[in-house]
Structure 1
Amino acid sequence: MNRPRAPRMSRDDRRAQVLTVAQELFAREGFHHVSMDDIAVRAEVSKPVLYRHFPSKLDLYLAVVDHRGEALVAAVDAALARAETDDDQPADGSTTPRVVRALVGAYVAFVEDAGDSSSLLFESDVTHDDAVRARVESASDQAARAISRGLRDATGLPSAHADLLAAALVGMAQVAATHRYRSRDVAVDEAVELVSRLAWGGVSGLRPAEGGPS
């Protein structure tokens, strides 16, 4: 008796399957230690099929990075949107405390959910090329731009200063989220509270004094 044939995957489903496998392998072993043969075997596809979807290992790697980056940007955007519409307003009417907390919370939640695959955005081993580095860092850059707007509104700082501080806040959130995930020594909510308080303590000192010069 002939065994029933498994249903064929659509092109999009096959691509998603390959991305999932490649993400796991790249995150665990790094770009240089994973071959297209390894990915084809794990994804249970032939190499010709794999190369029809992704012409090279670098193309596949960057597709994985883009996929992870889109997830991070979506998490940050959603957290900032919630912060801006939150009815629990701080006493001074500023949105910045909530925005800072939203950023930290988004990074901690993203790393908790993404696990080791977050390293593809934060600790990539393929950043010697400027074009590749720009792709890898794109998500963090987008998050920093969103935070910079909030900092300018709250502090009146010049754009260049706000951009620098926003990059520092993103770096702080990223490092803290990664450390918390790996150590497991601090609960998620506690980590968000601690890092947010540290970050806001610095930002709040940059606001112009009430009635004073901006």
Structure 2
Amino acid sequence: MQPPRLSRDNRRQQILESALPLFARYGFAGTTTRRIADTARISEALLFKHFPNKSAIYAEILAGICTADPGLARLRAEPPSTRTLVQIVRGMAHYFLQAADGSDAEGNQKLRLTLSSYLEDGEFAKVLSDKVEQVIAPIFIDSLEQAIAVGDALAGASSPRNLFWFTHHTICTLAATQLPSLPSLDYPPAAKLEREVCEYILRGVGLTDAAITAHGALDLSFEAFETSLLEFAK
């Protein structure tokens, strides 16, 4: 039986909706493109016309969740500012440290998948990084540029884009040290560690001590930034 004809957007959405419960049940490694295609009642060849590989499907799902997150939506609606920059850094640190200690099970899986990808072909990490750069990096970049413009931060030799990724990778590496049941380093408790790494990063991207104090950078309460990285993204 031929699958019903759908528009390109509707077909992509159908594939994503079919893949989501499979990833949730079997994980990334245990989900195949054949299984996704069978669940969507289409051929693998048709699936590949819309997504080049399994990593692209997974990353698209994560990006959709990230875009739909209420906390991130509110942050994206805020004008670029020093305060917004601080919220992003605090959000990234909070998310990754929660993922590392296992209190965010889904985040823990994403972090492990990304780290594994770095050690393999890098395909999943690359696709996910592209999504993080589209969704989260612009808020960081615009806010840092605004902080520089108003004198809250000093311009350095590194581009704001690179500073975003330096921030991301610093926090990811820190989180990775906390993944084993016996952490590789004896860091302080999570709340104190989060504050310290935020201070380190904010100074590193150029924020002045006066700006950090004025914006209460280390005492900001922050709402869920749970699905961003990578992202992640957070």
> TM-score per shorter chain, which class?
0.5 to 0.7
**1:111-150 aligned within 5 A:** 112=104, 113-124=106-117, 125-127=120-122, 134-142=126-134, 143-150=136-143
Residue 20 of structure 1 pairs with residue 21 of structure 2? yes
Look up the equivalent residue of 2:94 and give its one-letter code: G
Distance 2:176 2:66 in 1: 14
TM-score (norm 2): 0.52
- Cα distance 1:14–1:209, how it changes in 2: closer, same or farther (>3 A)? closer
Q: How do residues 74-153 of structure 1 correspond to structure 2 at under 5 angstroms?
A: 75=69, 78=72, 81=75, 94-95=82-83, 96-108=85-97, 112=104, 113-124=106-117, 125-127=120-122, 134-142=126-134, 143-152=136-145, 153=147
Call closer, same or farther: CA 1:199–1:110 in 2, change over 3 Å.
same
Counterpart-to-counterpart distance in 2, 1:137 and 1:53:
25
Partners in 2 of 1:168 and 1:147 — Cα distance? 12
Structure 2 residue ranges without an equivalent (≥5): 1-10, 184-188, 211-234
* Identity across the alignment (%): 12
Cα shift readout 1:102-154 (whole Å, capped 9, x = no counterpart):
232244457723432444445434436xxx76533113324333223333313
2:57 to 47, 63, 67: 63
User: Relative to 1, partners in 2 of residues 1:209 and 1:15: Cα closer, same or farther, differing over 3 Å?
Assistant: closer
Match for residue 200 of structure 1? 199
Provide the rounded CA distance (Å) in 1 between the counterparts of 2:67 and 2:87: 18
On the 8 A contact 1:65/1:121 being kept in 2, the answer is: no
Q: Distance in 2 between matches of 1:72 and 1:102?
A: 13
Q: 1:159 to 1:13 in 2, by over 3 A?
A: same
Change (3 A) 1:134 1:159: farther
Distance 2:93 2:70 in 1: 9
Instruction: Provide the aligned length of Structure 1 versus Structure 2.
Output: 179
CA positional deviation for 1:101 = 0.9
Q: Could you tell me how far apart the structure 2 residues matched to 1:178 and 1:73 are? A: 25
| Relative contact order higher in (CA < 8 Å, ≥ 6 apart) | 2
Query: Which residue of structure 1 aligns with residue 224 of structure 2?
Result: none
Give the aligned partner of residue 3 of structure 1.
Answer: none
- CA drift of 1:209 comes to 7.7
The residue type paired with residue 204 of structure 1 is: R
Letter matched to residue 163 of structure 1? R
Question: Aligned in 2, Cα 1:164/1:192: closer, same or farther, shift over 3 Å?
Answer: farther
Match of 1:191 in 2: 190
CA distance in 2, matches of 1:193, 1:148: 26
Inter-CA distance 115–27: structure 2 relative to 1 (3 Å threshold):
farther
Any idea what the Cα deviations from partners look like across 1:65-112, whole Å, max 9, x if unmatched? 221233345559618729969xxxxxxx95244332123224445772
Normalization by structure 1: what TM-score? Answer: 0.56
1:174–1:209: structure 2 CA closer, same or farther, 3 Å change rule? closer
* Greater helix share, structure number: 1
